[in-house]
Amino acid sequence: MLDPTRITADIALTLALPALALRLAPRGEWSILAWRLWTAAAGVYLLHVAAAFHFVHHWSHAEAFDHAVKRTYEVVGVATGIGIWINYGFTLVWLVDVFLWGLDLRLAQHPDTGRPRWLAMLRSPVIWLPWIAFFLFITFNATMVFEGGATRAYFAVLFIVAGIYVVVRRIKHV
């Protein structure tokens, strides 16, 4: 049987990594496509969370917490449930990022309206680059540390291709 939890996670990350590569490359005509991919990835990720809570944890935070403790102990040898709280934060920050990036793109289409200072601050690299680093850390661990086999190989290739794309685009931009 196909596992909806795994399928939705894989689709979300398959959409997110190209979106991230486009986002990290110099700005240009790809900004709207990147945001649309990023938004679709976030939506599929929410389906992943719902599938995990429905099929695996039976809508129980306690079961999700216990599962996080067990998996973390199996993989890294430390029995902690902090991962579930990190995942909740990850989900919230991703949704806020989708909203703020979309708002920023919409305002950029209407330069006469101006860009609020608070949005410029929240969209500055000082704020969003640590978020991207956190996103990459979480997704890398989810695919390279907590997974194996074909999933690990697929995402290793996807991470490498996205990284090469960003580097090449940055070099061409300089």
pLDDT in tens, 102-139: 999 888 888 777 788 898 888 888 988 899 999 999 99
> Of residues 43 and 163, which shows the higher confidence score?
43
Percent of the chain whose pLDDT exceeds 90: 63
Whether 172 shows a pLDDT value over 90: the answer reads no
pLDDT of residue 28: 67
Amino acid identity at 93: V
How many CA atoms lie less than 13 Å away from 118 in the CB half-sphere?
Answer: 2
> Of residues 87 and 112, which shows the higher confidence score?
87
* Residue reference for tokens 């790809």: 30
Whether 21 shows a pLDDT value over 80: the answer reads yes
Whether 156 shows a pLDDT value over 90: the answer reads yes
Nearest-5° Cα angle at 28, 140 to 123: 60
Question: How many other β-carbons are positioned within 10 Å of the β-carbon of residue 73?
Answer: 12
pTM: 0.89
The secondary structure of 42-70 as a DSSP string is HHHHHHHHHHIIIIISTT-HHHHHHHHHH
On average, the pLDDT of the chain sits at 91
pLDDT of residue 29: 66
Task: Collapse the DSSP code of 77 into the 3-class scheme (helix H, G, I; strand E, B; otherwise coil) and give the result.
Answer: coil
